[in-house]
């Protein structure tokens, strides 16, 4: 399917690896020029070079912490006018409800709620002026069904979801859509880290740990970053202009719900 966004310009945050990279690759395949961001410059440059070579689009990089005000300002300055924004960052650490105090919540809210909101606040006016824009926020399946040990993430991402629900409806009439993509378990570095936890806790091999984790997913496997990226690119396409303020779950059926 022709997505109709060739020549558009996108900022994909936290995109040297994992889900962000999947989104960047799929947008590049659709002919979108990219601004990529991550903290580590080496992996970021390697990803940018691979995408340039594979898809022939322009790729600019900004090595910065997107959750930090100064880092974000640098990214926005280099990015300039944008048609597409994909927000993403690392998730908060796991723990117990009794572990967390005010500072932990402020950090999580800063990273996973206020950072995407700050990016939208900066970028939406230009999209509205030009009469076209697409925003996709990478959140989590924990927005639909809480993951008990990820209380900080549950709280921050649900806050963002509420903000998007209202804001998406305020900008939809200007040709700008905002939606959220909710990953379930995907095959990224994070999955390996979670497997390591299972392997240690249950004294099993990494292979066994992967089987255990996949056994709770009706699809029987993790999602791939290519599948995730393709969904993101569709949400950014000309065909998706009537999809407004939605939360699209990509979890292989793991969230056991009728709607
Ligand atoms: P990943 O494979 O670990 O990749 C994370 C990417 O983000 C890397 O490129 C990393 O590069 C960059 N990054 C992290 N923190 C950043 C920051 N503060 N500023 C700029 N770049 C940053 O992670 P992932 O699995 O793709 O997960 C992405 C997001 O989706 C996370 O918030 C995660 O909690 C959420 N999620 C993932 C899954 C899953 O199954 N993978 C499921 C649910 C939710 P640097 O380290 O060099 O900055």
Helix 69-79 crosses helix 115-130 at what angle (to 10 degrees)? 20
72 lines ligand 1 (CB under 6 A): no
Nearest CA to ligand 1 atom 7: 14
Q: Which residues pair with 254 in a beta bridge?
A: none
137 lines ligand 1 (CB under 6 A): no
- Nearest ligand 1 atom to the CA of 65 is 19
- Predicted confidence at residue 194, as pLDDT, reads 85
**H helix or E strand, kind and range, residue 196:** helix 189-202
- Predicted confidence at residue 197, as pLDDT, reads 87
Q: What residues contact residue 19 under an 8 Å CB cut-off, 6+ apart?
A: 88, 138, 183, 186, 188, 225, 228, 229
- Nearest ligand 1 atom to the CA of 63 is 20
19 lines ligand 1 (CB under 6 A): yes
Q: How far is the CA of 97 from the centre of ligand 1 (A)?
A: 23
Q: How many CA atoms lie within 13 A of 158 on its CB side?
A: 13
Instruction: Compute the mean pLDDT over every residue in the chain, rounded to the nearest whole number.
Output: 97
Q: What is the mean pLDDT of residues 56-78?
A: 98
Model's pTM, two decimal places?
0.98
């Amino acid at each position: 399917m022709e997505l109709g966004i060739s020549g558009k310009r996108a900022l994909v945050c936290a995109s040297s690896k994992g889900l962000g990279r999947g989104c960047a690759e799929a947008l590049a395949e659709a002919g979108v020029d990219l601004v990529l961001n991550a903290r580590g410059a080496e992996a970021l440059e390697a990803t940018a070079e691979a995408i340039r070579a594979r898809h022939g689009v322009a790729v600019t990089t900004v090595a910065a912490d997107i959750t930090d005000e100064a880092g974000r300002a640098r990214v926005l300055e280099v990015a300039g006018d944008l048609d597409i924004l994909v927000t993403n960052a690392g998730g908060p650490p796991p723990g117990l409800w009794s572990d967390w105090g005010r500072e932990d919540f402020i950090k999580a809210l800063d990273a996973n709620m206020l950072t995407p909101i700050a990016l939208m606040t900066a970028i939406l006016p230009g999209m509205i002026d030009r009469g076209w824009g697409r925003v996709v926020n990478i959140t989590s399946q924990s927005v639909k069904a809480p993951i008990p040990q990820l209380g900080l993430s549950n709280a921050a991402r649900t806050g963002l979801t509420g903000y998007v629900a209202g804001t998406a409806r305020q900008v939809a009439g200007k040709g700008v859509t905002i939606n959220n993509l909710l990953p379930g378990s995907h095959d990224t570095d994070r999955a390996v880290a979670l497997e390591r936890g299972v392997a240690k806790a249950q004294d099993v091999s990494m292979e066994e740990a992967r089987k255990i984790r996949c056994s709770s997913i009706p699809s029987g496997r993790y999602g791939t970053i290519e599948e995730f990226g393709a969904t993101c690119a569709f949400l950014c396409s000309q065909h998706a202009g009537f999809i407004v303020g939605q939360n699209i779950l990509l979890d292989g059926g793991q969230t056991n719900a009728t709607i």
